[in-house]
Structures are given as structure tokens and as C-alpha cells.
Structure 1
Amino acid sequence: MQLPAYWIPRPQARQDPRTRASFDRLLATALDHGPDRPVDYRLDAPKWQFLCHVADRTDIVLHGTGDPGIRRFEPRQPSDSLEFSNREAVFAATDGIWPMFYAVLDRERHPGVRTCNACIRCADAGGGLGEPHYFFPLSRTALARQPWRTGTVYLLPATGFERQPPITSGDSAVRVAQAASASPVEPAARLQVDPGDFPFLDRVHGHDDTVLTTRAAADPGGFPWFEG
């Protein structure tokens, strides 16, 4: 499946055994210390590569937020028209980069900001999943004010999370990197991230909120309603 050019592919990451081993050691230490102590990140590889390693290779899902002191995530009802997301649940990402956007986006100081971002993987001809692709839009007026902050990505045990089913698009299947738990979840570890840790900070797309609302109302299934 050929995606439009505004979908951003995941950058190339280090795949050598030494780097993977350092990620595994850091993860083991983080899980041993628990969420009361943030991950002491001193590796040469950027944080997004560590988080992608965790999401891709372990039984952990991720949640990004500006609150560094969450001890228990409670199910909440989001404002979302999509069937999978329109329910009371704890939501998390099965990808390492996507939750970083929520961690560094300062909604508290910019309450009017609107975004309809996503991380997807498309099935290839053999039925396997391709590399992740991302779309990060933001209200143009908010983007001009650079609404970024230091945030936290929480590592949550994947047990009890339901992964979003694939979405059929023509002859292809698209999987959104999202999972939901109907029960409360206690984090296993947490990692502080700064705006500079988010690899697509300069690729966030500004949109007009009125245009987005009009297009979404006219074509509810037309996500992401790209405004070129």
C-alpha cells in the first residue's frame, strides 16, 4: 500500500547487538527500580530508539503525558469519534515515538490546541506489517506558539490491553499502534523526555481547525483530513 507523502516513516535506528543489549540492560534496571525513580538515561542512542526497542520487542506499551507523578492510570472517556477509541479505557501506544508527542505537547498551557495524529503500519503483500509511519498535525495558531514542554513516557505492562484491530483500506490492512485497557493500570517505569528528544519536532504539520472540523464532518472516514 502506497501512503501519501505526508505520512512520515520511522527513522533508521541502530540495530547492532551491542546497542540492543544496552537497551535490554537499561530496561531491566528501570523495571527493577519501578516508576518512583525515572529511568537514568545515559546511552548514546537517542531516547526514541530505546522506546521503540521496548515497544517492538517486549510486552510493554507506552503512554505519554506531562504529569511525572502518576501512580495509577484510571480508565477515561476520550473525545473521539473512532469506534475503538470511543470508550472508557486507559489508552497506550504499541510504538515508541507516538507517545513522545503526547508527552511533549503542552495542552495545559494551550487548552485550545487540536490534533488528530496517528501511527500506523500497513500490511505487505505477504501479510506482514511494514515499518511504522506517522502523522503529527496541530492547530496552526498553537504551533506558532511552540507549545512544547518536558514530559514523561510511562512504561505499562501490556497484560490486559486490547490492541486495536486492523482497519481495511481497499485490498490492504492498516494497523493503528494503539491499545486499550478497561481496567486501571499501574506503571512499571517512567522516562523523562524533552522536546529535543522527539525526532519529528520539525515535522509537525499546522492545520486550520475550522477546515479540519468541516472535512471531518463531511467525510468521517477520511482521516487524517490532510490540509496541504
Structure 2
Amino acid sequence: MRPWMLEAPPLPVSPDAEAAFRAALEGPAPLPAGWPRWQFLQWVAAQGFLLHGSSRPDLTLFEPRTPHDLSPDDFSRRAGVFAASDGLWAMMYALRDRSRVARMLNMALQVRGADGWSSMRYFLSLAPREGTVTDGAALLTPGTVYVLPPEGFGQMPPYDWPGLGTVREPQWLHAGPVRPLLSVPVIPADFPLPVGTHDPARTDALAAADPWGFPWPAARE
């Protein structure tokens, strides 16, 4: 694994917490005290639901769109409704402050080894609009993660990453509109991983020269 790849903190779900999680998913019911939102979202994804992070708290329908993406694969640039089968990846999109963040450089993936797929590995770096912020966590703001039904979604196929091996992303795509089942408010303190910063122009240039060099030197500083 690469040094910049991060893992989620270990936090096993107790039977009591799982019962409370299920009640919160099925009903209106509060989340159990002491359990972080990211752990609830990871549990929801493990039940087969998909997640979509947004800065807006009032969405009732997701329409297909074409994203701006530097990834070398075609799947990430297709038009549709994107969703994640991973809570932390969805939170990255929910928590970025669009008014102060020009671009986001992020990743969630597993690497296939001799014993199967690795645990999920993450990376998040934000490009500040004003160019003076060096603390990536300061560029986060409250957002919302929406729970989506899995029907009609297709997962991005595994692919070969030169120098790393076969990888799999928790990225899913639906060609048509999708209505959410539940919304989960999140705040910056809910996110358990460090957040970096980068210069988007320099990173774009490096990405054009080396499409597989993620996250490129500009995002590692």
C-alpha cells in the first residue's frame, strides 16, 4: 500500500448499537449516543444501501449529471447519478465547503491481493479558492449524506492501476433520476481522517503528464 493511503479507525459495532442503527434507518429514531455518524453510514452501506453526499440538506430527487473528474477511467466521467457503497467517501462530498473549495482530490479503493480485497483505503485533499488555507479540515462545513436505494445502480468494474495492481472503487452509477430514502446530517467533526490541501493548477498539469500518478506531488505537500 502507498503511504498516502489511509484507513478508517477500527470501531466494531455492538449488538445494541446495531439495533439502534436499524431503528434509525427504518424509522424516525435518533442515533445512539456516543456513536459517530460515519460509523452509522458505514453500517448502512453494509446493509446494501448506497450513499450520496451533498452540501444541500433539502434534496428530494437526484438528476443525472456529468462530473468533472481527472481519473483516467471512463466510468468516472459518465453522466448519471453517482453513489458510494462507503460512508466516508460519501462524507467527503457532503462536507466540502463549495464556497471556499475550488476542487477536491479524493479516493476510496481496495487493492486485490493473494487473500482477496484489502480494507478500504482513503485520501482527501481540497484546493482552497483563496489559495491561503493550509489546513484542509478548515475547508469542511456541515452537509448531508443521502441514503439511496440500490436498484438500477451498477458498480464501477475493477481495473488495473499500474504499479499498484487490481483495484476496486465503491463507486456506483444510475443512468436515471433517483429519489433518496433518508437524509443524514453530518458536520466536520464527524469526519475521522486528515484532510490535505493542494494547488489545482499544478495538480492538473501533473495529472496530464502522469494520469496514474495520483495523488501527485502537489497533493502530498
User: Considering the TM-score relative to the shorter chain, is it more than 0.5?
Assistant: yes
Deviations 1:141-172 (A, max 9, x none): 26447222211000000111111111213583
In structure 2, the residue corresponding to 1:115 is in which secondary structure?
Answer: strand
Deviations 1:65-111 (A, max 9, x none): 1111111100001112431111110001110111111111111x12x
Task: State the alpha-carbon separation in 2 of the partners of residues 10 and 205 from structure 1.
Answer: 16
2:153 and 2:172 in contact (8 A); partners too: yes
**2:185 maps to what in 1?**
192
Task: State the alpha-carbon separation in 2 of the partners of residues 101 and 158 from structure 1.
Answer: 20
In structure 2, the residue corresponding to 1:92 is in which secondary structure?
Answer: strand
Aligned CA distance change for structure 1 residues 20 and 130 (closer, same or farther; 3 Å): farther
Candidates 78, 82, 104, aligned match of 1:91: 82
Task: State the alpha-carbon separation in 1 of the partners of residues 88 and 10 from structure 2.
Answer: 13
Aligned CA distance change for structure 1 residues 9 and 142 (closer, same or farther; 3 Å): farther
**1:179 maps to what in 2?**
172
Aligned CA distance change for structure 1 residues 63 and 226 (closer, same or farther; 3 Å): farther
Deviations 1:183-227 (A, max 9, x none): 100000000011111112xx1111222321111010123222243
1:113 and 1:142 in contact (8 A); partners too: no
**2:65 maps to what in 1?**
76
TM-score (norm 2): 0.88
Determine if the alignment matches structure 1 residue 165 to structure 2 residue 157. yes
Task: State the alpha-carbon separation in 2 of the partners of residues 224 and 92 from structure 1.
Answer: 22
Deviations 1:94-147 (A, max 9, x none): 10111111111111x12x521220111112313x32211100011252644722
Task: State the alpha-carbon separation in 2 of the partners of residues 224 and 180 from structure 1.
Answer: 23
**2:2 maps to what in 1?**
4
**1:48 maps to what in 2?**
38
Amino acid at match of 1:196: A
Amino acid at match of 2:67: P
Q: How does 1:21-170 map to 2 (within 5 A)?
A: 21-30=19-28, 40-56=30-46, 58-81=47-70, 82-107=73-98, 109-110=99-100, 113-126=102-115, 128-139=116-127, 141=131, 143-144=133-134, 146-169=138-161
Structure 1 segments unaligned to the other structure (5+ residues) = 31-38
**1:36 maps to what in 2?**
none
Give aligned pairs, total.
Answer: 212
Give 1:54 shift: 0.9
In structure 1, the residue corresponding to 2:117 is in which secondary structure?
Answer: coil
Candidates 205, 222, 228, aligned match of 2:213: 222
Percent identical: 37
Task: State the alpha-carbon separation in 2 of the partners of residues 95 and 152 from structure 1.
Answer: 15
Candidates 204, 209, 220, aligned match of 2:200: 209
Please give the root-mean-square deviation of Cα atoms over the aligned residues, in Å.
1.9
Task: State the alpha-carbon separation in 2 of the partners of residues 167 and 204 from structure 1.
Answer: 26
In structure 1, the residue corresponding to 2:27 is in which secondary structure?
Answer: helix
Task: State the alpha-carbon separation in 2 of the partners of residues 124 and 162 from structure 1.
Answer: 23
Task: State the alpha-carbon separation in 2 of the partners of residues 60 and 14 from structure 1.
Answer: 19
